[in-house]
Each structure stands twice: as C-alpha cells, then as structure tokens.
Amino acid sequence: MSTEPAGHEAEPHGAGLGARLNWLRAGVLGANDGIVSVAGIVIGVAGATSNVTAIATAGVAGLVAGAMSMAGGEYVSVSTQRDTERAVLAKERWELETMPDDELAELAGLYQEKGLTPELAAQVATQLTEHDALRAHAEAELGIDPDELTSPWAAAGASFLSFTVGALIPLLVILVPAGGWRIWLTVAAVLVGLTVTGFVSARLGGAPAGRAVLRNAGMGAATMAFTWAVGKAFGTAVG
C-alpha cells in the first residue's frame, strides 16, 4: 500500500532529466534571441521607413540569417562535444580491457570520495562493473551517459526552431495594418514575449523570476530604442 500523500506528483528521476532541462533552457534562450534580434531589425527599419515591404524583407532576412546562424553554431559546438565524448569513451573502453584491476580500484576510490566506506565502495564498484563496466566508469568518472550522447542535428534543429518561433513574434506583429500604432504594438508584443522567456528561464535555473524578467525586458526595450534611433537617424539622413 502506497504511503504517498494524495495529490502528490511523483518526483521525476532518471539520468535524462538534467539533459531535458538543458534542452528546454536552450530552447527558451533561443526563442529569446529570436525575439530580440528580429525586433531590433524590424523596429530599426521601421524607424527609417514606413514601407511595409522593406520592413518585411528585413525581418524575414533577419529571421532566416539568425536561425541559420544559431543552428550552424549549435551544430559545430555539439559536434565538437560529441567527438570529445566519443574519444574519452574509447580511451576508457581501452583502459577497461587492458587494466581492469586498476580501473576497478579507481572506481571504488571515486565512491569513497563520495562518502562510502572502503568496503562498501569496493562492493558497489564490483557490482556496477559486472553489470556494465563502461557505463559505470563513464557516469562516475566522466559524467557521461554512453547511450545518450547529444545529437548535433537535433541540437541544430532545436536551435533553428526556437529562434524562428521567437522571431515570428515581432515579425508578424510589425506587419499588422495598424498605421502609426504598428511600432507600439510590436514593442508591447516583444515585451510580453521577453517577460515569458525571462520568467521561464529563471524558473528553470532556480533564480528569482522578478529580477530575470526585468533584465530581459529591459535589455529588449533598450535594443529596440537604440535600433529605432539608428533607423530614424539613417532615414532622415538619406531622406
């Protein structure tokens, strides 16, 4: 019979939880970058001209360039990380094959450092080695799950998608036929979007939400104000 309190949700466990949180945090930050980057572009162009075609062209170009840049950077970064992980796993596999006793003693030492008695550490190390030696060493010594290496293509796709979703907020709102209110509607939509991403990223990281939201929205507002001023000055000079 379960003694778990009624209405209490089971606490999530598993080696993939941290990875999923990191993916979610990266997605939120990618959306945040998309919002700020494209908002700065469309507001800046709107400061220079009221031509909707010019604003839309600049916004779409910024969205595509930004999303591709994010995806490409993430692909290169994660590919490098994956290559490194594969290399250290290959080295660990070779050590387990050529010097198993030394590796067993090393694993037991790691568990002693975590607080286990020498006897218990030796038992745990022996049982884990018999079950899956590579996994035991990879997780305890390297902090790597051999079966869950990050996919560069998945990382690139997630970055591309999250940036695009964020960028669509200012891009779609700036194209609303609202006359002189177009810029103000975009500013409002962007600040709402940045409030949401700031709140979610703070909660994921365990930081105070209010401070994170103020920083996020404040930087977004400053970006839009600066690019609008640059666009206004440029438009006046050209005109």
Chunked mean pLDDT (size 10), the chain, 239 residues: 44 50 76 95 93 94 95 91 88 88 86 86 86 83 77 88 96 88 93 92 83 91 94 71
Residue 26 lies in a domain: no
Q: What is the residue type of 231?
A: G
Q: Report helix, strand or coil for 10.
A: coil
How many whole angstroms separate alpha carbon 172 and alpha carbon 135? 48
- Residue 151 domain flag: yes
| Alpha carbon distances (Å) from 49 to 58, 100, 230, 234 | 12, 71, 12, 10
Output the CA torsion sign for 87, 90, 92, 94.
negative
Residue 77 lies in a domain: yes
The whole-number pLDDT of residue 237 equals 58
Structural domain count, the chain? 1
Is 25 part of any domain? no
Q: What is the distance of C-alpha 192 from the center of its chain?
A: 20
Among candidate residues 219, 197, 207, the one with its CA nearest the CA of residue 26: 197
Residue 99 lies in a domain: yes
Handedness of CA 34, 230, 175, 173 (dihedral sign): positive
Question: How many Cβ atoms are within 10 Å of 115's Cβ, its own excluded?
Answer: 8
Q: Is residue 44 a contact partner of residue 61, using CB atoms and an 8 Å limit?
A: no
Which domain covers residue 86, as residue numbers?
31-238
CA distance 67 to 157: 9
CA–CA separation, 132 and 63 (whole Å): 46
Instruction: List the structure tokens of 174.
Output: 């700036």
Q: What is the pLDDT of residue 222?
A: 94
> Residue 17: inside a domain, yes or no?
no
Q: Are 31 and 203 in contact (CB under 8 A)?
A: no
- Judged by DSSP in three states, 182 sits in helix
Whether 1 is in a domain gets the answer: no
Query: Which pTM does this prediction carry?
Result: 0.76
Report the candidate in 182, 164, 156 with the shortest Cα–Cα distance to residue 37.
164
Q: From CA 65, how far away is CA 46, in angstroms rounded?
A: 19
What is the DSSP secondary structure assignment for residue 3, as one 8-state letter? -
Tell me the torsion sign for CA atoms 141, 145, 151, 156: negative
Question: Residue 128 has what pLDDT?
Answer: 84
In the three-class reduction of DSSP (H, G, I as helix; E, B as strand; rest coil), residue 191 is classed as: helix
Residue 152 lies in a domain: yes
Q: By C-alpha distance, which of 37, 34, 41, 36 is closest to 56?
A: 41
